[in-house]
Amino acid sequence: MSVTVSLSDLTARLEELEAEAAAAIAAAASAAELEELRVGLLGKKGRLSMVLGAMGQLPGPDRPVIGQRANLLKDQLSGLLSDRLAAVKAAAMAERIAGETLDVTAPCRYTPPGHRHPLISTIEEIVDIFCGLGYRVSEGPEIETDYYNFTALNIPEHHPARDMQDTFYLEDGRLLRTHTSPVQIRHLENNPPPVRVIAPGRVYRRDAVDATHSPVFHQVEVLAIDEGLDFSHLRGTVTAFLQAFFGDLPVRFRASYFPFTEPSAEVDVQWRGRWLEVMGCGMVDPAVLTGMGLDPERWSGFAAGLGVERFCMVRHGIDDIRRLYTSDLRFLEQF
């Protein structure tokens, strides 16, 4: 076999390979490119293998010289490839991160959240206090019959409240409830005592609009029926409620009259030096209990009706009821 390569030939090839490979690796810009280079340089049919293949043509003593150099070069190129791969990956990651940057200091788009109307939050507060006293909420319709709104509440035939001047009547003889008291009757129809309920809701009266009157307003009705309830329970409950709502201020009960309670009272609180009437109340009239099929010798109870607007206006220092209904956001946003 003739010697076709010499030691210096192969040495030169290795040097050439080293220089070219180092430049190509340094220029590679992606993992795929590097993989292609690796196969081309160090793979089974790669350039280094070619040199090693030619090594067999060298005289015996020369072979280890080339073998050692080839191994060193292999290690060196592997090192260059993996360093470059790490650098290429890091660069790709850096580019991606730069592209996905969030500017957390950029101004956001503001959507105003909206909030409760002061009348609604007043009702919620009243309901919360009574729920804390063991009451639950009951509701009735705003369109009522004469029976629930008047008759069952012991309001006699010719009582002025029944007058067309005070009550909105519908053509079919029904009416818009003038108070939440009919819910007392509806609740007792379906729930045997003992009963402790409150009934918040809208009521209607033919009142001309002024600073303290509106044809639509809100009440919360209170009803407790049990064995052994007397006026002290009424007084204690009403006082506890008023103190929870207004804080510790003077409360007074004035004797009054309602057809559905006996005895009856109106309740005032002293607010900024003035006595303000905030609700009507009384012991449920035996005639109402009897009408509901309840024996007044066994069952007794008390009832109360609160004007929500009054509570809201006193609480927030609002001087004109119309402000609560005109939907003027400059006003409403204050609450």
**Least separation in angstroms between CB 161 and ligand DAH:** 8
Nearest CB to ligand DAH, comparing residues 25 and 135:
135
Exposed/middle/buried for residue 150 (C-beta within 10 Å: 0-12, 13-18, 19+) = buried
Q: How far is CA 315 from the centre of its chain?
A: 25
**Least separation in angstroms between CB 178 and ligand DAH:** 7
Q: For residue 135, what are the CA distances in angstroms to 231, 285, 313? A: 18, 21, 25
Nearest CB to ligand DAH, comparing residues 24 and 181:
181
Stretch that binds ligand DAH, among 90-98, 134-142, 207-215, 298-306 (CB under 6 A): 298-306
> Which listed residue (303, 312, 313, 321) binds ligand DAH by CB under 6 A?
303
Nearest CB to ligand DAH, comparing residues 258 and 311:
258
One character per residue 170-209, x = contact with ligand DAH (rule: CB under 6 A): ---------x-x----------------------------
Stretch that binds ligand DAH, among 24-32, 132-140, 299-307, 308-316 (CB under 6 A): 299-307
Instruction: Give the torsion through C-alpha atoms of 173, 174, 176, 180, to 10 deg.
Output: 130
Q: Are 233 and 302 in contact (CB under 8 A)?
A: yes
In angstroms, the CA 313 to CA 249 distance is 16
Site for ligand DAH in 7-66 (CB under 6 A): none
In angstroms, the CA 105 to CA 108 distance is 9
Site for ligand DAH in 232-291 (CB under 6 A): 258, 261, 280-282
Query: What is residue 108's DSSP assignment?
Result: P
The DSSP result for 209-223, as a single string, is: P-SS--SEEEEEEEE
Nearest CB to ligand DAH, comparing residues 36 and 277:
277
Find residue 270's DSSP bridge partners: 275
> Which listed residue (148, 188, 305, 309) binds ligand DAH by CB under 6 A?
305
Nearest CB to ligand DAH, comparing residues 84 and 187:
187
Encoded tokens for 76? 């060196």
**Least separation in angstroms between CB 329 and ligand DAH:** 31
Nearest CB to ligand DAH, comparing residues 168 and 335:
168
93-102: list long-range contacts, CB under 8 Å, 24+ apart: none
Residues that bind ligand DAH (CB under 6 A): 179, 181, 221, 258, 261, 280-282, 303-305
